[in-house]
């Protein structure tokens, strides 16, 4: 058995401040007994995919630079596993929506690159991200076998199924999803949230695994990120649900 923590927070700030904030919150979680800790999708910046702007590529970082250095040191110091989703610059013209899985000794348990890339109003991710080329993966850590998928992957049963069949005990979904502030019908907003939660809880039931969904919160431009981070058990029952 091991304890997990989800870090649900507002990230509408510059990279340096978001890094400091997330390091502090991870430390707080570890001090409360957490052993596996996950940040939300694209932790280091505001959710820039609401528009198609080439200037936003400056937010990306190469592998094993700022984010890895900082969280690797913290994982080793605290003896915890940390899931760190970030904007990866692989090379000129090729960028990924990625996540480090950092083990308790500060080494990399693995890297995941988001496979399913949306292109919807307010979520123009295909402008920025190349689909992942590493496939679905399971990461062996000190505390257990973790499956890590990212946001839009959550709508696809095959992603959960394949990762579970590979031996994952928990599926983590670092996420950035919210409501369009221009949507005036609360019933539609509720339907969107219900669908998001239901599809992920169904992955628990279908595969007999725990599911952990980790969302950001707060308003950024035209998106009100709805938080609602949760943990479901293998029966799909909510063990924990964060507020909006």
| Identified catalytic residue from 35, 88, 89, 114 | 114
Residue pair 15/44 in contact by the 8 Å Cβ criterion: yes
20 catalytic per annotation: no
The answer to whether 59 and 95 are in contact (CB under 8 A) is: no
User: Please, are residues 147 and 159 in contact by the beta-carbon 8 Å criterion?
Assistant: no
Candidate list 22, 89, 151, 220, residue with the active-site label = 151
Q: Which helix (H) or strand (E) holds 230?
A: strand 230-232
- For residues 151 and 41, the answer to whether their CB atoms sit within 8 Å is yes
Ordered alpha helix ranges (H), 42-177:
66-78, 157-165
Pick from 58, 142, 152: nearest CA to 97: 152
Catalytic position from the list 35, 41, 125, 220: 41
3-state secondary structure of 163: helix
- Best CA proximity match to 129, nearest among 140, 139, 141, 116: 116
Is 41 known to be catalytic?
yes
CB 15 within 8 A of CB 60: no
Q: Are 114 and 129 in contact (CB under 8 A)?
A: yes
C-alpha torsion sign, points 131, 153, 74, 140: negative
Active site residues: 41, 114, 151
């Amino acid at each position: 058995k091991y304890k997990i923590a989800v870090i649900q927070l507002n990230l509408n700030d510059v990279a340096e401040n978001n890094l400091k904030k997330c390091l502090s919150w991870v430390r707080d979680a570890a001090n409360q007994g957490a052993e596996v800790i996950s940040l939300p999708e694209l932790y280091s910046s505001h959710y820039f995919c609401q528009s198609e702007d080439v200037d936003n590529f400056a937010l990306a970082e190469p592998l094993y630079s700022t984010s890895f250095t900082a969280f690797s040191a913290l994982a080793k110091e605290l003896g915890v596993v940390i899931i760190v989703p970030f904007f990866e610059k692989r090379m000129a013209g090729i960028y990924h929506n990625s996540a480090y899985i950092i083990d308790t000794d500060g080494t990399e348990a693995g890297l995941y690159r988001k496979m399913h890339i949306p292109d919807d109003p307010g979520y123009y991710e295909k402008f920025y991200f190349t689909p992942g080329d590493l496939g679905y993966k399971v990461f062996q850590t000190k505390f257990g076998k973790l499956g890590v998928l990212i946001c839009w992957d959550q709508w696809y049963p095959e992603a959960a199924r394949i990762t579970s069949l590979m031996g994952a005990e928990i599926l983590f979904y670092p996420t950035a999803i919210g409501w369009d502030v221009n949507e005036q019908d609360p019933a539609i907003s509720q339907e969107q949230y219900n669908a998001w939660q239901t599809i992920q809880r169904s992955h628990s039931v279908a595969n007999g695994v725990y599911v952990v969904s980790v969302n950001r919160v707060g308003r950024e431009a035209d998106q009100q990120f709805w938080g609602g981070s949760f943990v479901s058990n293998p029966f799909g029952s909510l063990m924990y649900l964060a507020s909006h």
